[in-house]
Amino acid sequence: MPPGPEKGLTCVGRFSDPYGVKGGIRLKSFTGRLETLKQYQAFFTKSGEILPLSFGQQLKDGFVVTLEGVTTPEQAKSWKGQEVFINKEQLKTLPPGEYYHADLVNLSVITMAGWRIGNITGINNFGAGDVIEIELDKPQKGVGKTLLVPFRGEVIKDIDLKKGVLIIDPEGWLEVEGNP
């Protein structure tokens, strides 16, 4: 289960390396547009504690931020890898056909024939568009336990958040064994 949803939180970024000598930290943004991150009112840790952060310089994939009480690179390094959350209520309503990544994580993945193949464990973008990471129920020959699927219409046929499913068409690229 992704961190945060049980508390009404959604992940919007992750701290990475220290920046500079005064305790700055790189914050990688998970938002579609970088400037969106700065518009949120309050930020939280995974456990729901308020993160008093201030934005500094914009970087390619995020910002340099400072945290109250963090004044050295050593202190900043201790935050590396920790995720940053907001209250889900701060998110705007999306138009039909658009989804927040957090809403897709943990959906069951089924084929058009009704065969369940696994759960979504993450959404990544390596530069050529979003890719859905699926943890397969059973390892597949030539694939293993994890499958990366492009988030494109020829592969993703339907998403039903109410039912908790994402339907894919594996025809021609994945041999599915099991019961529908």
CATH number assigned to the domain comprising residue 154: 2.30.30.240
> Which of 120, 133, 130, 38 has the alpha carbon at shortest distance from 86?
38
Q: pLDDT tens digits for 81-102?
A: 999 999 988 888 888 888 888 8
Is 96 domain-assigned? no
Residues 144 and 84 in one domain: no
Residues 55 and 120 in one domain: no
Residues 108 and 159 in one domain: yes
Three-state DSSP string of 61-95: CEEEEEECCCCCHHHHHCCCCCEEEEEHHHCCCCC
Is 179 domain-assigned? no
What pLDDT, on a 0 to 100 scale, did the predictor assign at position 175?
60
pTM higher than 0.95: no
Is 43 domain-assigned? yes
What pLDDT, on a 0 to 100 scale, did the predictor assign at position 174?
61
Report strand pairing: 165-168 vs 62-67: unpaired
Q: 135 pairs with which residues across the strands?
A: 119, 146
Residues 10 and 67 in one domain: yes
Last residue of a domain, one of 66, 90, 114: 90
Residues 85 and 105 in one domain: no
Residues 75 and 40 in one domain: yes
Start-end of H helices in the chain: 34-39, 73-77, 101-104
Q: pLDDT tens digits for 33-64?
A: 778 888 888 999 989 999 999 999 998 888 99
User: What is the count of structural domains for the chain?
Assistant: 2
Q: Which residues of the chain have pLDDT under 50?
A: 1-5, 179-180
Residues 61 and 133 in one domain: no
Q: Three-state SS for 134?
A: strand
Last residue of a domain, one of 40, 66, 90: 90
The domain of 130 spans 101-166
Residues 116 and 137 in one domain: yes
